Amino acid sequence: MEAIVLAGGLGTRLRSVISDVPKPMAPIDDKPFLHYILHYLAKQGINRVILSTGYKHEVIEAYFGYEYCGMSIVYSVEDEPLGTGGAIKRALEKVTEQDAFIMNGDTFFAVDLQGMIRFHQVHGADITIALKRMEDFSRYGAVMVENGRVRSFQEKGYHSSGNINGGIYIINKQCLEIESLPNTFSFESDVLEKFIMKKEMYGFISEGYFIDIGIPEDYEKAQGELHSCI
């Protein structure tokens, strides 16, 4: 199995607590956050990872090299910001299989990837989104599902309960018609929201541990929790 990890984040909101490094390189117990993602992917059976990098990509390449945790590492480098969609489009050119996992390099979500790919294949999905059930949240939008099928996306705002987009996807390369998409675009708004009624899009709900280090409060929280999750 192959996975694309979007690791080009600048970490602007973390400047007060980390040095000037790409966000996925923010240290957790003296190891980069990205180490924990890759370690988990290896345990889940991923054997090849495409790291989509941009800002200070050489820092990531110097640390992880071309093999890590028994997985081969390939780099897809953005010379200029392409948006999440553009980064995925470029990285997908290096994917050799029909279905590939895609995940954010600043989020750790302990999803059963083997179970998720089985769910994806059984439903004949074009896109499968890993969803996390949450209570009392306003930082994220909510994803509405019916019989496993994604029906709508609700904007950020207070929700007493609901499923959030956990930032892990499985994509069937053929369904995206990748060559017809622009070089710079948002995967969330230009693909997920735009094609929700045109593609077979399913939600795989997981109760696994979830942490997004995008803000200092959650980055500090990860310091005491993440090492026990892999």
Q: How confident is the model at residue 18 (pLDDT cuts 50, 70, 90)?
A: low
Best CA proximity match to 5, nearest among 56, 43, 40: 40
CA 196 – CA 178 distance, rounded (Å): 16
Phi, psi of 142 (to 5 degrees): -110, 150
Say if CB 141 and CB 156 are below 8 A apart: yes
Residue 228 has pLDDT above 90, yes or no: no
pLDDT score at 178: 67
Which has more pLDDT, 177 or 126? Answer: 126
The pLDDT value recorded for residue 13 is: 56
Q: Which residues are bridge partners to 45 per DSSP?
A: none
User: For residue 156, what pLDDT is reported?
Assistant: 83
Encode pLDDT of 60-83 as tens digits. 999 999 999 999 999 999 888 888
From the CB of residue 228, how many other CB atoms can be counted at a distance below 10 Å? 7
d(CA 21, CA 90): 23
pLDDT at 17 over 60: no
Kindly list the domain boundaries of the chain, sorted by start residue.
2-229
Q: For the chain, how are helix, strand and coil distributed in percent, rounded to 5?
A: 30, 35, 35
Of all residues in the chain, what percent carry a pLDDT higher than 70? 94
What is the rounded average pLDDT for all residues in the chain?
A: 89
Distance CA 60, CA 54 (A): 10
How many Å apart are CA 137 and CA 156, to the nearest integer?
A: 9
Q: How confident is residue 216, by pLDDT bands cut at 50, 70 and 90? A: confident
Residue 123 has pLDDT above 90, yes or no: yes
d(CA 217, CA 220): 5
Query: How far is it, in rounded angstroms, from Cα 73 to Cα 61?
Result: 9
Between 20 and 208, name the one with better pLDDT.
208
Burial label for 85, CB within 10 Å (0-12, 13-18, 19+), is buried
pLDDT in tens, 124-176: 999 999 999 988 888 888 999 999 999 999 888 888 888 999 999 999 988 77
Q: What is the pLDDT of residue 183?
A: 86
Instruction: Give yes or no for a contact between 187 and 104, defined as CB atoms under 8 angstroms apart.
Output: no
CATH homologous superfamily of 2-229? Spore Coat Polysaccharide Biosynthesis Protein SpsA; Chain A (3.90.550.10)
